[in-house]
Structure 1
Amino acid sequence: MTFESDENRTGVVVHPGTTWSAIDIDSETRLRGNWRFYSAGVDGWQTMVSQTETDTTRTDSSVRPAQVHAIPTQKQPDISSETTDNAEPPLVIEETWGSEQDGPSLPNRTDIATADRYVNTTSIAVQSRTLPVATVDEVTVHGIVRGQSRTVSIDDNGTVRETNLELTVLEANSTGALVQATVTENATSEPITTGRVEVGNQSAAVNASGMAVLELEERPSLLVDGQYVPAEWWRADHLYGTAKDRAKVPPKYPAFQKLIQLVLVTLLWFLPVALAVYGFDYLSGGTFLGLTTQQ
């Protein structure tokens, strides 16, 4: 599988189909397997024996055949390329699949470090920000035997779908806030059911309705920022892009209904007192507070 996104990212999953030593992406970019090679001589060739009809001659052999051995020297594959401090590597290995096995034991006279445990990689996912997707339409897989190589075609190009994130602050008090996140696909407005939403230091997976609820441990000041993080592209059935949103935090003052209730209670408390004072002033002919007009 391959894909190319608007963020200039190219991803590819390769299934070599054999035990491999290297995968050539292009003429300058190569994935190296965890297998390395060494040569060792074959016992029994130290002396050369020459025979004639009447004589046998033994001399030290001037040649000695050798056998090539493949051993895993590291746990995972890596990238074979030259990079600088100012340049990104052409590829990044995202994940590998395969059976994990114990490394081999070598004879004491063979001073080569081997991996204690290694992954016999049968699939590998890589990503690049510099290589176009056309570069990985075909790759060359090299086996661990010299001359054993084949071309692997990679198709089923994936399309990265744009997404939309909507944040809503459901509750907010002095101790924290409750935030609801809804993730949909831009083109269809259908809910997205994979990936997660991050708000502050909190993260929650979206559910079957494309929603997630996050409980923040501290009350935000004015705004809440969040981000939708899609599932890893090499694991997902559909490829989605990231999305961001910002929501306002409700003010700390009471809601309108509570304000109305406060006003009514205040009136009920002070209206009788006001009426009593006005009535007393009226009975006194306005001499008490001067609120009534004297005749």
Structure 2
Amino acid sequence: MERRELSIIVAVLCVTSVVTGIVTATPPRPGTEDNGLTENESATLWSRDADDYISQEAYQERYGESRTAMQQLANGTDITFKRPPATAATWTRNDFEDLNAGGSDTSIHPPHASLEDGVYIEDAHATIFAVQPSTRGHLESGETPLYIAPNGTMRGFVDYRVRVPNGSSSGNRTVEWSLTNHEVDEVRLINDGTTIVEQEGSHTPALEYQIEDDWSTTLTLEAEIDVRLKKTVRIDRGDETDVDVTYQTESLNVTDSIDVEIYDLTAYPYYAEYPNGDAGVAIFQSRPWQGYTLTENGSARVRGVWRFYTARNTNWDTLVQSSRTGSSTVQSNAIPVYVHAYPSRIGPRAEPVRDGPEIIDTWGTDRPSPVGTLGENINIEIVNQTYTTTYGLAVRAETVDREDLHVAGIVRGVNASIVAPDSGSERQLRRSNLSVEVIQQNQSQATLRIELRDNQTGTPIGLGGGGRRYPIGGGARNGYITIADQRVETNASGVAIVTVEQPGIYTARYHPGSWLGHNPAYVSDTATARWHPLGTIEGWFALFVEVGWQLLPFFVMFYAGKRLLRMLGPEDIFQNNP
């Protein structure tokens, strides 16, 4: 493969991943390397490039060739994904083959390598190239763990140079040095002090590992370097020469370590069936995870707040070549690429959008925005304020295939093991029966009696106590009833008393607590009552009295006016016509 120019990065797009966000990026140089990817897949992998879009015409004039539509798009955008793409691992695995060590007199290493010197071994290092499958999580400032799959591969780079002492000559004595053998004798992968993989030495080891029952750990790449030098001493005695040959050996261990989180998911599902036949599903996992599918064909799915992008590890942009006479910097032929997960402003989503599952609840930990952890030239739709990690997702859907429930993590290829909770995974979801009636009233107010019962068993539903809380995740929520702009709760007998002062029609609505926090849980119900003062004999009597008092002044005025006209007016005004 050709040497890569640093200012030109080939982007890669995984055909199985879905593009969800578009922002600006540096133009890629199509066709410089394929690394196991098709031409169109070489389009959008690198999010850390400077944003400098050039038109199709300018590109053709500069490079003498045209680009595909995807390559042109990637020239001016950063691409984000709904799911962790496979292209980062594909690129890294193939590009790793371009990494070559120097000879015995030259050590090649990335600028960040930790160099060790011995007596004859100098500029020695063992540097981790990549651990994959993996995803770098951007949780908040100062917290960006590298999640790795329980089964994966660590790739590393080991190199050194041998300092062969100069020969010397003094009188009849001559000393000569030569290198007879040098090698990376053995490489090991160590997990928190315990060797888990050991194999023959190589300058570019690829160590396949399997780690179980771990959470946070430190992985160490260790290499043992051996050299053997020959020292020849000649003493000229005139008619004969004495020759003394000895061998000098040296072994040097070099290491590099990386802190990781072993990403081994276990998901706890809870199910409920709505009275109309709909299904409810809630899944909780205490680490970031991508989402889950509800049907065998994967048509119905839900995902959390996490989105993904891919970017190179800039520590490998250049390599240093060191020798006895000095050092120089060259452009690297091998650059590792990682998947990154970040909380997106898009938020949790269900698919299909219009007639797919309905997200009824999410819960998790509130964290500040991790925008400061992205670095330069990363332009994505990351949250810019406090967000909630979607450790729990609950949905309502028409159909759920429990046997085909598939929970995917943020590390490619890692799916959760489904484990039934100790308290059971089934949640009862029943119809409720709400009634309201006027039990007492007068001309100024009425007393309403609200009663809430289980529609199936007739058992009273009390809302005031905490005895019905069985939270799946987060905090449990008690239900309540609204009526006349008031929020009320029933007592242990399922009854609440409300007083209203304005005549009218009053509708009571039961707002049940989520089935995530109650077992059994209920669906909503409504009931209506009508109150007016004329609804009783006392009300009618009060109305007549009130109207009489209001009309009394008019009767008095009418009577007084009539008497006054009799006294002052003509007598025939009040006489009947003949």
TM-score with structure 2 setting the length? 0.38
Query: 1:110 maps to what in 2?
Result: 378
Q: Is the 2:434–2:527 Cα contact (8 Å) retained in structure 1?
A: yes
Equivalent runs, 1:117-128 vs 2, <5 Å: 117-128=386-397
Q: Which runs of 5+ in 1 are unaligned?
A: 260-295
The one of 326, 334, 338 aligned to 1:67: 338
Flag the 1:151–1:45 CA change in 2: closer, same or farther, 3 A.
Answer: closer
Flag the 1:114–1:211 CA change in 2: closer, same or farther, 3 A.
Answer: same
Equivalent runs, 1:124-203 vs 2, <5 Å: 124-128=393-397, 131-132=398-399, 134-136=400-402, 139-152=405-418, 156-194=425-463, 195-203=479-487
More contact order relative to length (CA 8 Å, sep ≥ 6): 1
List per-residue Cα deviations over 1:12-48 (Å, max 9, x = no partner).
2111343202222221122222222222223354457
For structure 1, which segment, 56-65 or 226-235, has the greater mean C-alpha deviation from structure 2 after superposition? 56-65
For structure 1, which segment, 113-122 or 194-203, has the greater mean C-alpha deviation from structure 2 after superposition? 194-203
Offset, 1:147: 1.1
* 1:78 aligns to 2:348 (yes or no): yes
Equivalent runs, 1:205-244 vs 2, <5 Å: 205-220=489-504, 224-244=506-526
Offset, 1:239: 1.8
Q: How many residues align?
A: 245
Amino acid aligned to 1:30:
R
* 1:2 aligns to 2:247 (yes or no): no
Inter-partner Cα distance in structure 2 for 1:197 and 1:164: 12
Q: Is the 2:430–2:521 Cα contact (8 Å) retained in structure 1?
A: yes
Q: Is the 2:290–2:304 Cα contact (8 Å) retained in structure 1?
A: yes
Inter-partner Cα distance in structure 2 for 1:240 and 1:186: 9
Inter-partner Cα distance in structure 2 for 1:102 and 1:204: 36
Offset, 1:181: 0.6
TM-score with structure 1 setting the length? 0.69
Offset, 1:203: 3.4
List per-residue Cα deviations over 1:104-149 (Å, max 9, x = no partner).
2121322234213222222222222xx23x4245522222111111
Inter-partner Cα distance in structure 1 for 2:333 and 2:511: 65
Whichever of the two has the greater Rg, that structure is: 2
* 1:97 aligns to 2:363 (yes or no): yes
Inter-partner Cα distance in structure 2 for 1:58 and 1:197: 73
Query: 1:293 maps to what in 2?
Result: none
* 1:38 aligns to 2:322 (yes or no): no
Q: Cα RMSD over matched residues?
A: 3.4
Q: Is the 1:139–1:151 Cα contact (8 Å) retained in structure 2?
A: no
Q: Which runs of 5+ in 2 are unaligned?
A: 1-269, 464-478, 543-578
Q: Is the 1:173–1:219 Cα contact (8 Å) retained in structure 2?
A: no
